[in-house]
Structure formats: structure tokens, C-alpha cells
A and B are shown apart, each in its own frame.
Chain A
Amino acid sequence: MIDLLKQHKVLVCAGTGGVGKTSMSASLGVLAAKEGLKTLVLTIDPAHRLAQALGIKQPAGQEHPVAGVPGLWAAMIDPRREFDEFVLGAVDKGIAKGLFENRLYQQLVSNLNGSQEFTSLVKLVNVTQSGKYDLVILDTPPTQNAVDFLRAPERIYALFQDTVIGWFANPAREESWFKRTIHRGTRLVTGALESVTGSTFIHELKDFFNHIAYLKERIAKVSAQSSALMHSPQTGFVLVTGFDEAKLREALEFQQDLAGEQLFLRAVIVNRWFPEWAEGERAWPAHWDEDPEFKQLKEFYGQFANFFRQRQDAYEKFVTQLGKSVPVLKLPDFKNAVQGLDDLGVVAETLKEKWRSIT
């Protein structure tokens, strides 16, 4: 595990929703800091208590040292604020103000579909360039597939291509946008757009493009930088998944997405593995065995364990399809929900132990 942490500048925790990405990111952070790496955990909207444990306070966006873990820093990404700051850093105040007032811009930044991913990458690029940290761990927003996340800058950048801006942005505002479109085909398409959306919308859209045209260069730069960063051999992906058939299947699709993009998958964590320890690692008083209620308890455990054992098949299949090149860590369910720093420490130690046992 230590090698994994030391060999990378950036670790990206990816996976579908509800698998424990945030806790895993934070635990890896605790582990890295304990090994002497100056580490930053970048997260989006963590659970309240986890945020407390990491010392994340409002306003979001700032990097805080985590009390109790020397060397560990944490920051929560607020897409809206991050996007606004990105705009302010790229254009002068007048244009920024015009953009902030545009209703489509407001939709763009509050619409999680692209802006969460985009702002995460902007923040990631900034903090890695600052050189302040040995390792940055990024907790990604939940997406249906991994590529969605990686393509966010590309998708947003597509809006800034010359043709797109040329179509909508119009320095001489009085000039009809129809007049500038020469091809009959283009006229048909713009006519279709206008008839479907209406002239008020087109007006708002043109206002939007008139403003964002100024962001073009900065967006192109971030897009190129984040792509280079993601594909760097010093950036590794950690895929977090859960212990059931559907989640494991999603994980496989994620792995294929990553491979398709030629990104480096370095580890898979199967979180909330069946708690085998629950069978009773500690000894119990002999007279309990005579107690009918204890028998009932053990019977219930049998039912519980049996249910999870059936899932082993799905897991075996998953491992076979995944191939041998990636280490898979099985992290058993813990007695308590992972909430505080102590819990993160326990998870960190368990990860370290599991890693040692398989590599």
C-alpha cells in the first residue's frame, strides 16, 4: 500500500454511488499522512460527521489541516464557488458579472451533470501545480460511468469551439444571426432551434455565448492540463465497489471505461465485504451454548452468512474477468459506520494489512 501511495502524485477514487468512495479516500489519506507524505484529500459533499472528522467547515473550497493527523489536509469542493472563481481568474470583472447574471450560466453551474466533474478537475490541476503536497487523493462525484467524469472538460470545451461561438456570439448585437449563416442547411438548423426554443431563449443563449467566448483560452488550457494529469503514470485510479452482483458488474464496466481511455487502474477495493469475523473470533462463556436464544442467534447468523456466501460466486466471476494485473482488496464491513478519525484509522490499518497479504 505504501508503494502505491509513494509512487503516485495523484490517486483518483472512482466508483458508482453509495460504495464508500469518500471514506476510502479519507482512509487512504490518513494512511499516506502516517507514512510521512504530505497529503490532501479533495472531496465533494462528504457525510456530515466525516466532514467534521476531517475538519471541513464552511465555506467550502479551502484546504484545512486535519486536526489529529499531522501531514493530512482536506478540502471540500463546492462546484458553484469553484466555477465562479475560475471565471473571475480568467476574465475581467465586468464580463464575469455579466456572465454571473446570465440565467443559463446559473443553470450550468448548478446543474451537476458537468460542473461538478469540471470543477473537481480544475481544483485538482491547481493543487497539484502548487507543489504543496506529495500526494493528492481525489474523491470523484458519483457518475454512471467513469468516462463521464473524465470527459467533462472535453464536453464543456466543445461549447467553446470557434464554430459554436461564431454561431452565437455576436459582437454587433443588432445583426441578425440568420444573416451570418450562409448555408441553407445551417439556416434550417438554426431555424429549427429557434422554432423549438423561442426567441427569448435564443437571446439568453446568445448572451451566454457572448460572455463565455472570453473563457475559451482558459478552458482549453485546463482541458489539456487535466487530460495530461489524468494520463500521467504518476496518476493512479483506485476503483471502489461494493459486495453484490450489481455493484461488481458496474465495477467491471468502470474498469473497461478506464482501460478504453488508457488510464492506470492500480487497485480495486471491494468495500463492505461480508464480516467473516462476526462468526465469533472471541471466545464466549460455555453456558451460552445451552441458551435457546443463543442458538437462535447462531441460527440467524447461519442464514445471514449463507446469503453472503452465495455472493462469492459473483465475486469469483468478477475477479476472473478483472484479470490478474490489478490487486483486489476485500474490506470487511465494520461494526460501526465509518464516521470519525479513529474509524478512518482502523480502515487505513486494515487496508494496509490486506494489501500486504495479497502483494
Chain B
Amino acid sequence: MIHLITGKGGVGKSTVAAALAWGLAAKGRKTLLVELGERSYFRHIFHTDLQAHAAEISTHLTVARWEGESCLREYLLHLLKIERVVKMFFDNKVMRALVQAAPALKELALLGKITSGPRHVGPPLPYDEVVVDAYSTGHFRALWRAPVGLAEAIPYGPMGEQSRSIVRVLKDPALTKFYVTLIPEELPVTEGLELARDIQSELDQQPVLIYNRFLEVPLKLEQIKKFQGHDFADYLSTHLERQAGLKHELEQRGLPVRVLPWLFAESAPEKIRRLAPVMEAP
């Protein structure tokens, strides 16, 4: 199964992705946790260098960082077989410019690799679960719209074929699962729900909504409101009202919702371990 985790910037996508991967690995599933892009976040969490190679964290958990160009390189090598030609391709000035700026190429290469298991294309990806800490909302849309757009634009030839087979995997609920992360603030919820709607309408998939950083307070709202005028009581009641209102809003959507508590823990590995069981709950 491929798990794609998205959400607005700053909502804790990476922690959510890591918690999911951690939980799956703990159950004995061979799991690959992937981060996208040129900068590594997980290397700070797992204290390992992810600049070039995947790193084994435990028996069942491996972490990797993928970016567009290296995925493209790997794919070309798979197709062309000859390292020298691939090198020539990437050393070529024109191809460099094309890879840097040509629309959709990098996105296609990334999604191509992510979906390579079920498509049996490219080097084998021997994992039961692939968990991707994917881009935030805007870039995430661009990511899946690349193969969707190219599948329509290029009716014939390998590029169109690849795009169509990637789209088939993305649209298959038995192969791919989407997660939209939200936190109790207006903008992340609005953006997240818009994205969830687009996933539903454009990919016919039902994303899981992850309501992250849910503040659990030992007092009820009415109890806190008794102390109206106290700065913290006011701060807290405003927060709780917003949190409950937005929770109601996302429950209205008829999508599966998982609530992840705010943890008073600064250490990321500790957070990941504690959130893992919650991610698995039905």
C-alpha cells in the first residue's frame, strides 16, 4: 500500500507520516518512509544521513529521501540500460535546462518511483508499505495533476502510457491511500478540506482527515469559562471553541477522521512513538 500524507505547511505532516510508518513497521510490515525534496527533515529525527542512500532504522523500517532529478536519472537508466548514455543525457546543457524547468517532468519522475511497485516498472521496491511525507497543499496538487494532465495531453507513446498507469495506481483505493493533515486553525482546515474535495473529485479517492495537535484539557469549557477575565482561561476557551467548531466542520464531510492529541513532548522521536498507535486506530 502507498500512503500519501499532505496538508498545509506547518501542520506536522512529517510527524504524522513518521508515526504512521513507525506503527506499520511495529506490526511487522516492511515499511519505507520517504521524504520528498532537497532538504532532509528526517535526518534530524533519525540521526542518519539521508543525502544519497536510504537508511535502515530498524528491522522493518527504512527511511529515504527522494527528489525529482535522481528519480528521473534512475528511471532513465532502467529504460536505457547504459549508464554512459544517462550521464551524457544529464551532462547535456539542453537536457539540464529541460529537466530544471520543463513542466511536470520532475513530478512525473517522483510519482513514477512512488508507484513503481504495483506497476512493476523500474528497480524493485521490496516493501509492504510505502509512506510518503508528501508536499504541502499547492505543490501536492501539482504533483498528481502532472500525470493526470499528461495522460490527457499525450495520447500516444511511452510518456502518455506511464502517466496513465501512474494515474490508475493513484485512483485505486486498494493500492493508494491519501491522508490530509489539519490542525485546529482556520486556514489549515479550509485549505485541507479544499484539497480533500479535489482528491475526491479528481482521483475518486476518500482521503483520511488527520486532525493533528488536538489540545486535551482536564477541564470542560463551561468550567474554564467560570474564570472569564483570566488571561489563560480566555486564551484556552477561545482555543477550545475554535478547535471544537472546526472538528465539527470536518466531521460533516463524511470522511474518516483521526484525532491526534497535542503532546507536551519536545522530542520528535518520542512524539512519533506515542502517536503511532493512534494513527492505526480504526
**With an 8 A cutoff between CB atoms, is B248 at the interface?**
no
On whether the beta carbons of B139 and A158 are closer than 8 Å, the reply is no
Closest to B187 in A: A47
Interface size class of B (residues with CB under 8 A): 35 or more
On whether the beta carbons of B150 and A107 are closer than 8 Å, the reply is yes
**With an 8 A cutoff between CB atoms, is B169 at the interface?**
no
Closest to A110 in B: B145
On whether the beta carbons of A145 and B39 are closer than 8 Å, the reply is yes
User: Distance (Å) between the CB of A224 and the closest chain B CB?
Assistant: 17
Q: Report which of B156, B186, B230 forms a contact with A282, defined as CB distance below 8 A.
A: B230
* Chain A 38-59 near chain B by CB (<8 Å), digits 1 or 0: 0000000101110000000000
Closest to B237 in A: A335
Q: Report which of B145, B227, B235 forms a contact with A335, defined as CB distance below 8 A.
A: B235
Which A residues contact B (CB, under 8 angstroms)?
A: 16-19, 45, 47-49, 103-108, 110-114, 116, 141-142, 144-145, 155-156, 158-159, 161, 163-164, 167, 185-186, 188-189, 192-193, 195-201, 204-205, 242, 245-247, 249-250, 253, 275, 277-282, 284, 288, 291, 293-294, 296-298, 300-301, 303-304, 306-307, 310-311, 335-337, 339
Which B residues contact A (CB, under 8 angstroms)?
A: 8-11, 14, 37-39, 41, 44, 75-76, 79-80, 85-86, 88-89, 92-98, 100-104, 106-107, 136, 138-139, 141-142, 145-146, 149-150, 152-161, 185-188, 190, 217-219, 223-224, 226-227, 229-236, 238, 242, 264, 266, 268
On whether the beta carbons of A195 and B158 are closer than 8 Å, the reply is yes
A-B pairs, top 9 by smallest CB distance, nearest first, are A17-B9, A198-B157, A18-B10, A103-B153, A107-B103, A18-B9, A158-B97, A108-B103, A197-B159
On whether the beta carbons of A311 and B100 are closer than 8 Å, the reply is no
Residues A163 and B79 in contact in the complex (CB < 8 Å), given A110-B142, A204-B153: no
User: Distance (Å) between the CB of B46 and the closest chain A CB?
Assistant: 14
Q: How far is the CA of A337 from the CA of B154 in the complex (A)?
A: 46
On whether the beta carbons of B235 and A197 are closer than 8 Å, the reply is no
New contact pairs (19) apart from A159-B101, A193-B89, A280-B231, CB-CB < 8 Å: A17-B9, A17-B10, A47-B186, A104-B102, A104-B153, A107-B153, A111-B145, A142-B138, A167-B94, A186-B92, A189-B88, A196-B79, A200-B156, A205-B102, A278-B231, A278-B232, A296-B219, A300-B236, A301-B232
On whether the beta carbons of A111 and B138 are closer than 8 Å, the reply is no
A159: which B residues are within 8 A, CB to CB?
A: 97-98, 101-102
